[in-house]
């Protein structure tokens, strides 16, 4: 009989202990935020620089080296590039990324020499069909970017390359501190 009342007392005691903790949250700062548009800036801007969202390619600085295609473990990147026999330039004919297959691992952006293929903070990729998730970056065949010795002088490519190299700098390189 004594243990029966003891149990009731302990149960009530611990329930009130728990309720006291819950009640203390009335005076703490709320933690949750409603998702769309309840903060001043777009949610994408609040994400860290390394955030691995949907893939994007800056074709202006793509060298056509196929490093990303080789690195992708699920072959969601398809690149067709041929060498022009007269001008000896790489011509990109196709650069498709199947975002439906992509698992956002970041292995493709790591070996890119110019930071052309990179993850954006964009994550809202919902769509009605699988085909529309295949991003085709090459509309018409273009010549691949040829790295210049020294700083880039072309005013259109310069800023893009700067952003690409900044993206690459985030990756740890062997030997650097």
Interface ranges with other proteins (CB under 8 A): 7, 10-11, 13-15, 17-18, 21-22, 31, 47-48, 50-52, 71-74, 103-107, 110-111, 119, 170-177
Sort strands 77-83 and 90-98 into parallel, antiparallel or unpaired. Answer: antiparallel
Q: In the complex, what is the shortest distance from the CB of residue 3 to other proteins, in angstroms, rounded to a whole number? A: 12
Please, which residue, 154 or 170, has the CB nearer to other proteins?
Answer: 170
Please, which residue, 82 or 104, has the CB nearer to other proteins?
Answer: 104
> In sequence order, what are the residues at sequence separation of 6 or more whose Cβ sits closer than 8 angstroms to the Cβ of residue 29?
none
Q: In the complex, what is the shortest distance from the CB of residue 111 to other proteins, in angstroms, rounded to a whole number? A: 7
Please, which residue, 122 or 154, has the CB nearer to other proteins?
Answer: 122
CA–CA dist 90, 70 (Å, integer): 17
Please, which residue, 61 or 168, has the CB nearer to other proteins?
Answer: 168
Q: In the complex, what is the shortest distance from the CB of residue 142 to other proteins, in angstroms, rounded to a whole number? A: 26
End-to-end CA distance of the chain: 70
Q: In the complex, what is the shortest distance from the CB of residue 136 to other proteins, in angstroms, rounded to a whole number? A: 24
Longest dimension (CA), the chain: 100
* Cβ-count burial 107-118 (b if 16+ within 10 Å, e if not): ebbeebebbbbb
Please, which residue, 67 or 157, has the CB nearer to other proteins?
Answer: 67
CA–CA dist 6, 169 (Å, integer): 64
Q: In the complex, what is the shortest distance from the CB of residue 165 to other proteins, in angstroms, rounded to a whole number? A: 16
């Amino acid at each position: 009989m004594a243990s029966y009342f003891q149990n009731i007392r302990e149960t009530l005691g611990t329930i009130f202990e728990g309720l006291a903790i819950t009640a203390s949250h009335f005076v703490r700062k709320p933690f949750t935020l409603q998702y769309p548009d309840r903060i001043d800036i777009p949610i994408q801007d609040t994400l860290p620089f390394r955030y691995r969202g949907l893939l994007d390619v800056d074709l202006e600085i793509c060298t056509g080296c196929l490093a990303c295609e080789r690195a992708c473990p699920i072959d969601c990147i398809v690149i067709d590039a041929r060498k022009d026999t007269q001008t000896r330039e790489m011509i990109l004919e196709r650069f498709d990324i199947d975002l439906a297959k992509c698992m956002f691992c970041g292995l493709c952006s790591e070996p890119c020499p110019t930071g052309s293929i990179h993850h954006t903070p964009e994550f809202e990729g919902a769509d009605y069909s699988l085909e529309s998730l295949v991003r085709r970056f090459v509309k018409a065949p273009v010549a691949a970017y040829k790295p210049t010795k020294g700083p880039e002088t072309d005013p259109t490519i310069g800023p893009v390359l700067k952003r690409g190299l900044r993206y690459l700098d985030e990756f740890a390189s062997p030997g650097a501190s």
